[in-house]
């Protein structure tokens, strides 16, 4: 059976999926095909149920919960850090400012709206947000992926780290994205993919240099900086990626609930989110 796994072409996803990409683990009879696209594209494709397994922003999950479950492994979670808003000059606040965003379904956008509701959003591809700020097209930019570590190279200043803000507000980690699986695959295939995802992450963590060497090719503007690539991967592929933990799962529900109550998410809270919560 062919299973398409759609994920972002960035270093943390490359690291996470290395073992599956390179044939390092037994796929239990499944034929794995990788599809690479930016996260906002993947969010939109998930709305259509395009891929069997896909990375997704948690902001987008309530809109596809009727069709997908979240796998218990594969999450990107910020422990006191997360997407960053940057600007050319010091800004006291973002009220009324023009802010470049990498997508309206990204979790970064959801948390930014929870932080400050009143700003003018300007949509850019995630890898053009820093350019928009440097060129003065916008007052500030919402930065995800490796740009969180490279924005200072462009002479930009941090306005707020949304992961830090979230931790101070809730005392919880910030769940940014996860990997979802289509319900119509059935319990047997879902259980296989739960095992494969965990084994792939375990392999990368146990063979770090091997997996990092592969992941560096996807590190974009920090690919020549081995230390920063390692740091970025460590931020988003760690013990939380193997399992969200009870507090991580609680953080997912709180984030979605706050988005719904704030009328940012126009969908209902899913009753069941994680695939391992479904009985065989």
Catalytic residues: 145
Please name every residue paired with 182 in a beta bridge, in sequence order, or none if there are none. Answer: 68
Tokens describing residue 233? 């991967």
245 and 162 in contact (C-beta within 8 Å)? no
Alpha carbon separation from 199 to 7, 59, 65, 132, 139 (Å, rounded): 17, 26, 25, 39, 43
Coil, strand or helix at 126? helix
Spatial separation of the C-alpha atoms in residues 68 and 185, rounded to whole Å: 10
54 and 6 in contact (C-beta within 8 Å)? yes
Spatial separation of the C-alpha atoms in residues 105 and 140, rounded to whole Å: 19
């Amino acid at each position: 059976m062919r299973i398409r796994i759609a994920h972002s072409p960035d270093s943390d996803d490359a690291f996470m999926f290395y073992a599956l990409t390179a044939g390092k683990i037994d796929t239990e009879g499944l034929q794995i095909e990788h599809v690479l696209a930016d996260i906002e594209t993947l969010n939109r494709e998930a709305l259509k149920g395009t891929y069997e397994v896909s990375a997704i922003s948690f902001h987008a999950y309530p809109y596809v919960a009727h069709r997908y479950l979240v796998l218990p492994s594969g999450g990107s979670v910020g422990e006191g850090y997360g997407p960053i808003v940057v600007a050319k000059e010091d800004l006291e606040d973002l009220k009324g400012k023009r802010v470049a965003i990498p997508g309206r379904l990204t979790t970064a956008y959801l948390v930014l709206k929870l932080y400050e509701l009143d700003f003018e959003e300007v949509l850019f591809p995630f890898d053009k947000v820093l350019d928009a700020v440097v060129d003065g097209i916008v007052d500030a930019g919402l930065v995800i992926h490796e740009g969180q570590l490279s924005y200072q190279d462009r002479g930009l200043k941090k306005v707020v780290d949304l992961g830090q803000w979230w931790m101070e507000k809730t005392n919880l980690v910030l769940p940014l994205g996860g990997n979802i699986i289509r319900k119509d695959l059935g319990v047997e295939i879902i259980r296989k993919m739960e095992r494969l995802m965990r084994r792939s992450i375990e392999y990368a963590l146990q063979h770090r240099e091997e997996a990092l060497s592969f992941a560096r090719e996807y590190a974009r503007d920090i690919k020549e900086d081995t230390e920063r690539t390692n740091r970025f991967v460590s931020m988003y592929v760690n013990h939380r990626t193997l399992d969200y933990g009870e507090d991580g799962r609680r953080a997912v529900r709180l984030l979605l609930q706050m988005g719904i109550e704030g009328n940012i998410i126009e969908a209902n809270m899913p009753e069941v989110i994680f695939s391992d919560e479904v009985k065989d």
